[in-house]
Structure 1
Amino acid sequence: MLSHNVTMSLNSTRPGGVGGCPPVGIQLEGVVLPPVLTVDVVLGLLGNVVALWIFCVKLKSWNPNTLFLFNLVIADFMALVSLPLRIDALLRGHWVFGDGLCRINLFLMFSNRTASIALMTVVAVYRYFKVVHPHHRLNRLTKRQAVFVSASVWALVVAPRVPMLAYSHIKLPGNRTQCFFFTSYKEASRAIIILVSMHRILTVLEFAVPMLILLFCSVRIFSFLKQRQMGRPEKVRKAMRVCVAIVVVFVVCFLPTTVTTVGIWVIKSYRPWDCASFYTFTQLNIVSLGLNFLNSALDPVVYVFSSSMFRRALCGSLPRALRCKRDRDHHDKTASSSGSQSTTQQELKSIRADEGSEAN
């Protein structure tokens, strides 16, 4: 997490010597983040525990899409197990869990953001090929190949974050121990400077590139469905709502952190004397982390949108009175025959059934 002893003053307009701007303790994040992160943890645990139960107990067969979504559940749990320690530190005003847990905590928090973005991008691309290019060879992806894709994604996610585990991030401002990744206005060592720079580059790239891919896939899926559903405008409207909803969630959860990170970088590079602006952007950057982890609470909705197999398994687990009529009828019609279908057949039927209603 960004520094809790941010080195600047709201009233300062010049550099504070070799140390940068004057130090400031926990401010806005100490007030805003604890309740926000608590909501993220409660909603995230409820949704992801149910999702994990559906994946492990109710789904009798898996396909590549299901495997990608399951990896997204794992990424969410990485954040959910790390946030209680961060909430405790914010409420206390200092870190009491030692250097080892500090390193692991920060590693899990940052890895979650990267993994969530990467896996959502994989799900979107896989969905795009299923809908728009149904005969592409990627649609014949086996479960073993999907495991390889998932492992490759995790390798790309974890590799840039591993160096965080090699350095201590414990700080001792006054008599209160803090655990944060960024040092103050001026980093202390070359290694930390490189890590901070790498983190800022990753924060921007891991949002910008997947966002472009997500927009492309969403627009192409919508255009394809519009052509296929000319006589059923309601289906097209539902598909458009799905595309817009996914993009909005992506922007709400990850754009603020990206913008404030760029702001910090610009101020340090071109306005090093502007301590007030640096302080403001740093505080907003820390607070925006709460929106990052809101993604863990919203991902179960993505599972419902992205997989009819998951949706039907969830529907089949609910009391009959709570199911919508279409799902009740479909579940009753297909329950006896779904076990005999191959994984590929199930996925193809799921995609065709959901072409115009991915957000149902």
Structure 2
Amino acid sequence: PAVIHLLCSFLEKYINMRCNFNGTLLISVLPPVLFTEFLFGVLGNGLALWIFCFHARPWKSSTVLLFNLAMADFLLNMALPFRAIYYISDIQWKFGHALCNICLFMLAMNRSGSTFFLMAIAVDRYMRVVHPHHPINSLSISKAMCGALAIWLLTISLTVHVFNLKHINTTRCESFMVDTEMHHNLNWHKFEFLFSFYVPLLVVLYCTFHIVGHLRRRQLAQQAKMKKALWFIVVVAVLFIICYLPSNIAQLVIWIQTKHLASKLPDTEACSALEDLTIVFFVTISLTYFNSVLDPAVYYLSSPTFKNIYRKVLRLSQADTDKSTERKTRETGSQTLSQL
């Protein structure tokens, strides 16, 4: 009995130090956002995968990176309807503990995978523009696939811990919880969330600034080919920052504020003071999934093949989609994809 009493006291303390929020705003805001991201993400990335598989021939090393980015985005989209239903059901998870962890793992793995593949694409473009004669620019498809596999293995190793998450409240399915005791508040999952953004961010910014500086020094920015390369890397950097920066800033602010409030206020008051900030975090983390909707813009800029097929499917201007142009872009599209 004494052991049971001690265990119950520990669990009670642990539950009390974890903040639970009513999430009224999340229930009304997130479902339409998540369903919109799912719809356009599946359409955009599904179309991109179709182009990669049936039109982008032959593949080059950069094609492998773009294909894996599209795959990461597509797999992430598959988990979004479950999250939307979760919020529609007043934040009540109805699919069981196992599917909860699978869903959270899919989100974490593919969100991190997207950031690392965007980083790899930025490095690839940096090497082709700044160091065009480096041997890495002539990687074979098999070596490029090994590199992509290494990125997936890194991503999985960083996020597989999600399967060990324990949800004390069985109706909740969250991987991010605010703990009023600081030694619980910065766990591996939150560290991985921050690491998989700030490391790729530094690399993407480094590549972007060096490409811009290189083109300006050589006065090549106005040449058509180099102008496309410049636009490409700038779009990658802008999408990366817009989609991922707000949620990461919110996570850092929550960690700092928790440390500040937990030392001054009781648990219940500390949780109340953190509620608005936590809601902001959950909204911004849902907006990170818009990256999977916007990434097709990266593919659009990567090759005339994508431009012409997108225009044909969306029934836009047919100036660039006549038969001769389409035949030409099919023959040269993959070469442009890897060289621009």
Residues 222 and 243 of structure 1 are in contact (CA less than 8 Å); yes or no, is this contact kept in structure 2? no
Does structure 1 residue 39 correspond to structure 2 residue 36?
yes
Does structure 1 residue 279 correspond to structure 2 residue 275?
yes
Q: What are the within-5 Å matches in structure 2 for residues 296-311 of structure 1?
A: 296-305=292-301, 307-308=302-303, 310-311=305-306
Q: What are the within-5 Å matches in structure 2 for residues 1-360 of structure 1?
A: 19-20=16-17, 23-93=20-90, 94-169=92-167, 171-172=169-170, 177-183=171-177, 185-186=179-180, 193=184, 197-229=187-219, 232=222, 241-272=231-262, 273=265, 274-305=270-301, 307-308=302-303, 310-311=305-306, 314=309, 322-325=317-320, 331=325, 334=328, 338=332, 347=335, 354=340
Report the 3-state secondary structure (helix = DSSP H, G, I; strand = E; otherwise coil) of the residue aligned with 1:165: helix
Report the 3-state secondary structure (helix = DSSP H, G, I; strand = E; otherwise coil) of the residue aligned with 1:207: helix
Residue of structure 2 in register with 1:12 after alignment: none
**Structure 1 unaligned residues grouped into runs of 5+:** 1-15, 340-345, 355-360
Q: Share of identical aligned residues, percent?
A: 31
CA apart distance, 1:17: 11
Residue of structure 1 in register with 2:5 after alignment: none
Residues 130 and 214 of structure 2 are in contact (CA less than 8 Å); yes or no, is this contact kept in structure 1? yes
- Tell me: CA distance 1:303–1:169, structure 2 relative to 1, closer, same or farther (3 Å): farther
In the alignment, the residues of structure 2 paired with residue 319 and residue 116 of structure 1 have an alpha-carbon distance, to the nearest angstrom, of 26
**Structure 2 unaligned residues grouped into runs of 5+:** 1-12
Please provide the CA RMSD for this pair: 3.2
CA apart distance, 1:240: 5.3
Residues 46 and 74 of structure 2 are in contact (CA less than 8 Å); yes or no, is this contact kept in structure 1? no
Q: Which amino acid aligns with 1:146?
A: A
Give TM-score, length-normalised by structure 1: 0.78
In the alignment, the residues of structure 2 paired with residue 319 and residue 261 of structure 1 have an alpha-carbon distance, to the nearest angstrom, of 38
Report the 3-state secondary structure (helix = DSSP H, G, I; strand = E; otherwise coil) of the residue aligned with 1:161: helix
Q: Which amino acid aligns with 2:238?
A: V
- Tell me: CA distance 1:185–1:332, structure 2 relative to 1, closer, same or farther (3 Å): closer
Q: Which amino acid aligns with 1:222?
A: V
Deviations for 1:78-121, whole angstroms, at most 9, x for unmatched residues? 21110101101100111111111001000011112100000000
CA apart distance, 1:322: 2.9
Deviations for 1:217-254, whole angstroms, at most 9, x for unmatched residues? 11222223334445937877766554443322211110
Aligned residue pairs total 320
The structure richer in helix per residue is 2
In the alignment, the residues of structure 1 paired with residue 166 and residue 314 of structure 2 have an alpha-carbon distance, to the nearest angstrom, of 51
